[in-house]
Amino acid sequence: MTAAAPPPVIVLVRPQLGENIGKAARAMLNFGLTELRLVSPRDGWPNPDAGPAASGADNVLAEAQVFDTLADAVADCTTVYATTVRKRGVTKPVLTPEAAAREVHASAGRSAYVFGAERSGLETDDVALAHKIVTVPINPEFASLNLAQAVILLAYEWSKGVALASPPDVPLDPPAPHGELEEFVQHLVRDLDKSGYFFPPERREMTLRTLRTALTKTGWSYNDIRMMHGIVTALGRVKKRQ
């Protein structure tokens, strides 16, 4: 049996704000990635602004490694993906995040997703060091992904190939028998009759048919019907007080 490929590392090159590093760590951990590498973070490391923004992804920040150069950060990686638009003078295969994720899962070695600084992205020399470019198809009129958004897009595509736990399903209440719904309809009609709702009288049958059609469209549960009985009863009491 072929061993699963190791998860990709996330490399942030010259990140500027600790808050953005924390948000990137949060995005990583949501989809099962834990190895974060930082290349020359502008404000040094550790950064006190990263923790609150990580919203609990503290283990990712605690284990983050810092490097002076991108070459050092990816020295143990067999495939390096630069996340950027095409760079002039740099000819590389260009992949979507989905295609890159498939390659990462099929690889026998360690892969790296490399992201540039918030303001300027990766420089040409950074991209030249990578093996391939990953570009997100985006609205050309508004190409404005922030760092954490870019990280979460690639992390999500990678996560499709691993077994992550889904949020627990919340069971829905079973629908109530039609007889219980009919009792509520009759309760409602009695009160509507008392209030003079069905006017003029010759339209009563048509109005009642429309009302019944609306009520039977929903999947009323026993608790739903019990609540509606209570509402109609309460409204009747209010009218009597007046």
CB 188 within 8 A of CB 232: yes
CATH class of the domain defined by 9-159: alpha beta
Q: From residue 203, how far is each of 187, 200, 206, 209, 211 by CA, in Å? A: 19, 6, 5, 10, 12
pLDDT values of the chain reduced to their tens digit, one per residue, 242 residues:
356 889 999 999 999 999 999 999 999 999 999 999 999 999 999 999 999 999 999 999 999 999 999 999 999 999 999 998 766 667 899 999 999 999 999 998 999 999 999 988 999 999 999 999 999 888 888 877 899 999 999 999 999 988 775 666 667 778 888 888 889 889 988 888 888 888 888 888 888 888 888 888 777 888 888 888 888 888 877 555 55
Domain ranges of the chain: 9-159, 178-241
